[in-house]
Amino acid sequence: MTDAIRYEKGQDNIVVLTMDMPGQSANTMNAVYREAMGKIVDRLETEKDSIAGVIVTSAKKTFFAGGDLAELIKVTKADAQTFYAMILNIKGQLRRLETLGKPVVAAINGAALGGGWEIALACHHRIALDNPSVQLGLPEVTLGLLPGGGGVVRMVRLLGLEKALPYLVEGKKIRPDAALKAGLVHELAGDKDDLLAKARAWIVANPNAVQPWDVKGYKIPGGTPSSPNVAQMLAIAPSVLRDKTKGCFPAPEKIMCAAVEGAQVDFDTAQIIEARYFTELTTGQVAKNMIGTFWFQLNEINAGGSRPQGFAPYVTKKVGVLGAGMMGAGIAYVSAVAGIDVVLKDISIEGAEKGKDYSAKLLEKKVGRGQMSAEKRDGILARIKPTASDADFAGCDLIIEAVFEDRDLKAKVTAAAERAALSDAVIASNTSTLPITGLAGAVQNQDKFIGLHFFSPVDKMPLVEIIKGEQTSDETLARGFDYVMQIKKTPIVVNDSRGFFTSRVFGTFTNEGLAMLGEGVSAAMIENEARKAGMPVGPLAISDEVSMSLMNHIRQQTIKDLAGEGKQILDHPAYALIDMMLNEYKRPGKAAGAGFYDYPAAGGKKHLWPELKARFEKADAQISQEDVRDRILFIQAIETVRCVEEGVLKSVADANIGSIFGIGFAAWTGGALQFINQYGVQDFVARAQYLAEQYGERFLPPALLLDKAANNQLF
């Protein structure tokens, strides 16, 4: 019939449909699938009198991967009508399958995400392989989309609005055992043979199966939106959602619309509502930003796009961590969890033990939640050896220095560790700002020295910024890249400079917020507009978290370093404000209990320091909300362009992923460079020039940006 979906009818008259898209590692809802499924459904309808039932399964490692993102990212507003018709066709095929009048079973042999789960939902009975590597769910929202193949309609009818919304709005993925408890699958199977045997048995036992929502009088669990309990939930749900998205992400809001509106009408009308919202999102810019970055560019990075070629993959066996503070303890934790032996050194054994306790507490939480066995926890902890002696670094093939941002201290501890470690060990610094080439001067083998910049808290933050110094060899870079992948983090690779990429751009974000406060702009407005622009927290709150003491220390170290090179630091209006907060008001940040925010004792909610209004705010200095948002986003995007121009950044993917994963740049934009692309390069230049006229030369577009605009080129 077709290579894409094999049609095999056995002696028991049960048809097994095996999805196997040619030339692909996973099945997707592309044109080949659409044509094949159309022909399959036609044949099933023609031959249905001789059929006992249908089993849908896959020849791939996974069941079905979902929509064809390469196709979806190209759909424009001009294509909307054609695309909408195509979506209705996909839905129509699945609807014909579930109303065939014969029992249909999904034999889910691997991950069924997005369109894959929608195919499964269109089956009367779902049996999943009982394997923890199998994931089920509808993650479309994470790419700016909604489930457009009937996922919203069927999940709401299966679970009810309240229980379905977390899967739809949050893109929650679930393992087979949890899916069984939640009522999403009906049975689990031990292996592929068991899967098919159980599917056949169910078909024989249920010859007249129909979907619950096709039974006359069926009511949605929990009730429709007009039911008192659901109406009460829906009265607050939109405002709760808006508080999370700040209006930056249309997909969660459209999903809620499709779910609530679809629950008030019949099945076929609900399908139309879902298709219209799906078309609106797919043709919109935010989905294109998110698909491009979180799918294509992230896959490019994880496939080793920035890793030097010609070096065999390296598996780190034993890592020595210098400094058992929060960063060092976090690095020890992620390394041990990845199966690497760790030597965690601090000034005292007590300090090192305290660093190990950090891992013990994190693991204890996992055991308490039932996510890990006590045996596994003990095995991970046994890999971490706390010490106060450099001699214990014997046998280490990687050393990571994570001490205070002090050049002399870093030099002293890395030199001592290098002498004790293996002769070919890679020596890395977790510095966030100090140039790697200068730090490498402390070790004998400068070609083995590299920057591995982690983000806090290490156990949660997904990014590691790998910094290549002037002497760093390609082999060392490849080993550093492999270690980052080994600990299941996302690596970006940058060339050396002061602050590298992420710290430089992050500094522009905090400094711009502080500059606006210094000008007299309302503190509350700065914080609120930053979040409305898509930043996870405001610049004043994050300055408190980092601490103005540290910001000042880094500035003083920079002044000292530049003086040694005969250079001066460029002044910034934020510096005077930091000095005032430190020296005059004695409010260095959160750790001290006082910064731009007050931090009440006994777990009270933090709030802006009331005196900010009296001491800084000026009635005649207020600017538009749009200007506040643009100053925050534009200054970071412009600094990112400078990093490209100077050769610090090597790829657009590293720039976009690094800006979002490392410093929380507005995710709806697709990253700092994609923000410029989607704004329109020429329009961005014009807006930047306006901001420069109004607020300072730091907004002037760099030459590279002007060239791109002149040649109508994107990043």
Residue 125: active-site member = no
Q: Which two tokens stand for residue 418?
A: 């290098």
Question: In a 3-state reduction of DSSP, which class is residue 86?
Answer: helix
Closest CA to 438 of 556, 564, 325, 559: 564
**Sheet containing 125-129: order of strands:** 5-9, 14-19, 53-58, 104-108, 125-129, 187-189
C-alpha span between 252 and 260 (Å, rounded): 12
- Whether the CA torsion 112, 118, 119, 122 is positive or negative: it is positive
Q: Which two tokens stand for residue 277?
A: 């919202």
C-alpha span between 558 and 547 (Å, rounded): 17
Question: In a 3-state reduction of DSSP, which class is residue 3?
Answer: coil
Phi, psi for residue 175 in degrees, rounded to 5 = -85, 160
Reduced 3-state DSSP string for 6-44:
EEEECCCCEEEEEECCCCCCCCEECHHHHHHHHHHHHHH
CB 168 within 8 A of CB 141: yes
Question: In a 3-state reduction of DSSP, which class is residue 452?
Answer: strand
Per the residue annotation, which of 453, 553, 572, 607 is the catalytic one? 453
From the number of C-beta atoms within 10 Å of its C-beta (0-12, 13-18, 19+), residue 562 rates as middle
Residue 438's contacts (CB-CB under 8 Å, 6 or more residues apart) are 407, 561
Alpha carbon separation from 345 to 194, 297, 352, 357 (Å, rounded): 51, 37, 6, 13
Residue 626's contacts (CB-CB under 8 Å, 6 or more residues apart) are none
Q: Which two tokens stand for residue 195?
A: 């899967």
Closest CA to 15 of 46, 121, 31, 30: 46
HSE, side-chain direction, 13 A CA sphere, residue 83: 23
C-alpha span between 688 and 439 (Å, rounded): 36
Reduced 3-state DSSP string for 602-631:
CCCCCEECCHHHHHHCCHHHCCCHHHHHHH
CB 347 within 8 A of CB 353: no
C-alpha span between 583 and 594 (Å, rounded): 13
Displacement of CA 504 from its chain's centroid (Å): 21
Quickly count: other Cβ atoms within 10 Å of residue 178's Cβ: 14
Q: Which two tokens stand for residue 187?
A: 């049975």
Reduced 3-state DSSP string for 645-680:
HCCCECCHHHHHHHHHHHHCCCHHHCCHHHHHHHHC
Closest CA to 195 of 125, 295, 100: 125
Q: Which residues are catalytic?
A: 453
